[in-house]
Structure 1
Amino acid sequence: MPARDDALHPEVAEALERGGPVVALESTLIAHGLPRPTNLEVARRAEQEVRAAGAVPATIAVIGGRLRIGLSDAELDRLAGRDGVLKAGRRDLAPAISAGRDAATTVSATLWIARRAGIPVFATGGLGGVHRGAAESFDISTDLDELARADGCLVVCSGAKTILDLPATLEALETRGVLVVGYRTGEWPAFTERGSGLPLEHRVESAEQAAALVAAHRSLGVPGAVVLAQPVPEAEAVAAGRMESGLSSALAEARRRKIVGKALTPFLLGRIHEGSGGESLTANAALIVENAALAARVAVRLSEREESGR
């Protein structure tokens, strides 16, 4: 079912009508993933990079109980500056809308909404996945299942968040048949660190190669999304292994305070930002912007291929 017309920002609606390139962007990074004022600065920079590459940004959220696909600058500012914004996965959308809430959409919700609206390219920071200790807690992100359902979509990210069990997350993606491709890397990125030591079978070297791969994936009708994994820029990357020491203490504190579920990820990321002296925050901001730019370049190439009939 397509999105209602009133959910679409006019610029996004016009681009979709003419078959132009559009890139979906999530809003949890604005409300929950980054501190103020960095959150608003990064959201604006990501949109600017999408425009600079020739595509239209469509940041997705729920504003006052209304689904919004493409936000005004005032709406970005509203999400960035308010406390109490709901963190909404796919299952939380109806409660947010019925209660008239503001809600920032996670990867699972953003990807579902984007696909429903006919936007097949999505950029984010790090994916959710299998949490450490999931064998006991069963804490596994809905992102994984939504990626398996998102037939023909492209998701650009920097791997999965470092707080997760990265080998188990990569294995879970493989089990669900989700194609993971490295962008100029043969290694699964580790969010704010450039590599995890986990090899990837497939890689591409350019936006054009990525577009050709996605087009082939779509033409075959293979289920699931294509995950294009781009390492954080080298200049802003956190040194390998540095995150692990801070994460151990943050996990222990979370257990003591019984912080679980949707609250766990922002808590852990906040503690890691504090413990790294700002390094992880700088890296997180840089990779979000770079992923938006790459997604836009691939979206433009895909649009050009469709126009030429290739």
Structure 2
Amino acid sequence: MSSMQDRKTESPIDPFAEHRRLLFATAYQMLGTVTDAEDILQDAWIKWHEVDHDSVQHPKAYLVRTVTNLALNRLTSARVTRESYVGPWLPEPLLTAADAAEETEMADTVSTAMLVVLETLNPAERAVFVLREVFGYSHAEIAGFLDKPETTIRQISHRARNHVQSRRPRFDTDTAARTEITAKFMAAAQGGDLNALMEILAPDVTLWNDGGGKVTAARRPLYGPDHVARWLLGVMTKPVSAGIRLESAMVNGELSLLAILGDYRVGALTYDIRNNHIENIRFQVNPDKVTALQPTPQSPPATPHPLAE
């Protein structure tokens, strides 16, 4: 009898909580920043709790539509801000679990390389691409989310897909090979071994460094093994960087490296690998974009930032 009463009094799962992971992934892939994605979810949560739930026939669709449109508004204004951004703009890195299923999912959808490509789409193209190609919504469903004719959505989808396919890098490196190359890269960088580091880098390696104008960073891409290796070792050997160390971690679904000073994670290096060489390096050190890397919320390190001017 008590079990029946328990079932009767058991509270239904709140749709927002049930679909929170999907909603966050949608916002993050739309915006490329953890902070903005969390802000969007907060706004969506408020809207969800202001609406009459009995009037919402399909809560999941309602929530996805709400998050998508909030993210579209945020992305439109963000693009104006990014036009005056100091140096290269890179996505905000996201630590991902080592769970095999989640790792594969995240690597396919939120890799840093993919987020960089998504930045080249306009807001409407990005929304349609994410909803269609990542989450598998039909053109008719997306048309309902965005209040556009289905024929328009099909045209946007086709244009966005072709754009991404022509720019998306394709790298086929198995887990064991990536682990080995990451270990060699970390050892060479921390050991100050210029020749060993250059041997790991591809002949056409490029490094992008996002400091946001808040810390010393390369404001233009660096090209070639010599320039990239010397710059990386220069960072590692600065007097103020004496305590910096590199540790491997899963970032955006891929094995990557964290730069750590004391207990504070001051940066993240993500990279692509082709033919057992590192071809593209993205080094995120903007203090505003590394808060999500911390194991627990905390203030920036009391010691100077290793890349501070």
TM-score, normalization by structure 2: 0.26
Larger Rg: 2
